[in-house]
Structure 1
Amino acid sequence: MTALRPERDPGTAGDQGSSYGQPYGDSGAFGDGRYAEFPTGDADGPYRPPLVDDETVALRIPEPPLRRTSAEAGPAGDGSVGGGRAARRKAAKRRHGRRGAPRTQPAGAEADEQPKAPLSRVEARRQARARKPGAAVIASRVMGELFITTGVLMLLFVTYQLWWTNVRAHAQANQAASSLQDDWANGKRNPGAFEPGQGFALLHIPKLDVVVPIAEGISSKKVLDRGMVGHYSEGGLKTAMPDAKTGNFGLAGHRNTHGEPFRYINKLEPGDPIVVETQDKYFVYKMASILPVTSPSNISVLEPVPKQSGFKEPGRYITLTTCTPEFTSKYRMIVWGKMVEERPRSKGKPDALVS
């Protein structure tokens, strides 16, 4: 049921529960003596409707605006409801684009979209010259490529010298030793004079675990670079053979690269055995002395009684020569030994090769 009740001015003091039914001002609810008709309240009290008079010009406290989601916000983006579903949809498209992603335009985009005036021929040439590298840049690039190429070539050369020459020389020396032992086993006797590069004996240095063929001559290409040691047998460097009654048996070998059979002869000590094996006999020497550094032209170390060796009278000696310091050929290192045993092969190996 509804009833006519004069409304009370909200600013009037009193109990709100009994304030309804009072007129607004002197002229009633609407200022002209009329009264507002509202539904009655429930048992807890009268119902007070919101003040929604569109006709009055009186001041009043506005109600808080309705909160909407971003999809329902009006075109102004202030949370107000748009003019309808279609209007809200259009507003969402304007804000977020067709796929819903915000449209952002970088600074200066409008200026970039403007057509640019074509460059003059002079300006185009100037810009083309500016893009080309200068002479200094080209020179630096060429130098850099040359340095890189040189470095790669040096690395390959070092690898060849320190690794590959040893691999190849060991293979060649092992093949020569096997061939020589096969000839001995088959009874093939070599003549008393050997051809340059021809193998005729084996050198054993037990302390250094060295077993290497001995060939005639000291040619780098035919002997030394093939991993063998060479016998001084030509011209003013001619030395005796091991079976000579007296004399100095001189040998040369690489200390580094190409098999490097004499690399560690500096570690030999007096008394260490050095054995020369031939087709008929074993010649056992004992290391006697060492000359760490001498000139390459000091051929007196190969004399029958070698100087600076400590030997004072003729005997049966062996001389090992090699380069020093390591990886250079500036000087020579000399090791001498004195024969202590001549043993026929028929009696078996000497103790130096058995123990």
Structure 2
Amino acid sequence: MRLIVRTFSEICITVGTVIVLFVVYVLFWTGVKAADAADGEIVRLQEEWVRLPVEPSTPAPDTGGSDAESPESPGPAPPPAPPAPKAYTAGKPFAVMYIPRFGAGWDWPVLEGTSARTLKKGLGHYTGTARLGETGNFSVAGHRRTYGDPFKDFPRLRPGDAVILNDGTTWFTYRIKQRPYRTVPGDVAVIDPVPGRSGFDGPGRYLTLTTCEPEWGSSHRLIVWAHLDATQPVTEGKPEAFHS
């Protein structure tokens, strides 16, 4: 009997130790690894931006008239069309996202793709959705819990909140339209060019953010939609949206 009790006790202690170690891994260690990985991706981006400066990726302004000059109204030639945006590479970062609602220190890299490996290093852009700032639906996913908890405070988002992105040349400020919407996984309409249930009517420059719901589960998704509100070159400093 003593042997049975001792053996059972040792098994319970071993199982308890394994459970504690697993909880520490999920709650702490994945966060440490994700923070290091995200910081590394941001540093990589910043180094690339320093080495390879490019023209702002915002569209050329509308001059409101003909491209041709006339003797009666001389003036400068219209600005050249902006260069085509660089293709996104799977698993690589191309922008940094800031959400002031989540605090001054909240910044995460946005990488191409939404694979499990990619989302361990930051936020993931849904391949096939619009590029940053373009007409269509620029859609991004992120973990609610584990791997740094980037979207832990997702339910705090409110209409009018700013979502700001920097691609090294341009600041893009999107404004959230409504409170987070709860849906089921696989509802691809939420990342359509004109996202379903968003309230948007017709083509535009939209942003979709998605994360898991409930906080420690994945039976549903939380979604917010936003529209492009403003752009400005990085040479003009940070946009006012950081302080609004």
- Return the TM-score normalized by structure 2: 0.82
User: Tell me, what secondary structure is at the counterpart of 2:49?
Assistant: helix
Structure 1 position 219, deviation (Å): 1.5
For 2:93 and 2:109, the matched residues in 1 are separated by 6
For 1:333 and 1:170, the matched residues in 2 are separated by 23
Runs ≥4 residues deviating over 4 A: 188-191
Deviations 1:165-202 (A, max 9, x none): 11111111112112211221222569721221110000
Deviations 1:267-314 (A, max 9, x none): 011111111111221111111123442111111100011111111211
In the alignment, structure 1 residue 295 sits paired with structure 2 residue 184? yes
Q: 1:290·1:309 contact (CA, 8 Å) conserved in 2?
A: no
Q: 2:133·2:228 contact (CA, 8 Å) conserved in 1?
A: no
In the alignment, structure 1 residue 224 sits paired with structure 2 residue 106? no
For 1:217 and 1:168, the matched residues in 2 are separated by 19
2:196 corresponds in structure 1 to: 307
Say if 1:151 and 1:292 are closer, same or farther in 2 by CA, change over 3 A: farther
Q: Bigger shift: 184-193 or 196-205? A: 184-193
1:186 corresponds in structure 2 to: 51
Which of 1 and 2 has greater Rg? 1
User: Given the alignment, which residue of 24, 30, 45 partners 1:165?
Assistant: 30
For 2:182 and 2:85, the matched residues in 1 are separated by 37
The one-letter code of the counterpart of 1:207 is R
1:274 corresponds in structure 2 to: 163
For 1:334 and 1:143, the matched residues in 2 are separated by 47
In the alignment, structure 1 residue 202 sits paired with structure 2 residue 96? yes
User: Tell me, what secondary structure is at the counterpart of 2:97?
Assistant: strand
1:243 corresponds in structure 2 to: 133
1:94 corresponds in structure 2 to: none
For 1:148 and 1:239, the matched residues in 2 are separated by 50
Point out which structure has higher relative CO (alpha carbons under 8 A, 6+ apart).
2
The one-letter code of the counterpart of 2:237 is G
User: Which structure features the higher share of strand residues?
Assistant: 2
In the alignment, structure 1 residue 351 sits paired with structure 2 residue 216? no
Q: How many residues align?
A: 213
Structure 1 position 213, deviation (Å): 0.5
For 1:191 and 1:250, the matched residues in 2 are separated by 17
Q: 1:293·1:331 contact (CA, 8 Å) conserved in 2?
A: yes
The one-letter code of the counterpart of 1:201 is A
- Percent identical across equivalent pairs? 39
Say if 1:354 and 1:182 are closer, same or farther in 2 by CA, change over 3 A: farther
After superposition, the CA RMSD in angstroms is 1.8
Say if 1:338 and 1:243 are closer, same or farther in 2 by CA, change over 3 A: closer
1:80 corresponds in structure 2 to: none
1:331 corresponds in structure 2 to: 220
Gaps of 5+ in 2: 55-83
Gaps of 5+ in 1: 1-133
Q: 2:157·2:180 contact (CA, 8 Å) conserved in 1?
A: no
2:111 corresponds in structure 1 to: 215
For 2:187 and 2:4, the matched residues in 1 are separated by 50
The one-letter code of the counterpart of 2:114 is I
The one-letter code of the counterpart of 2:110 is I
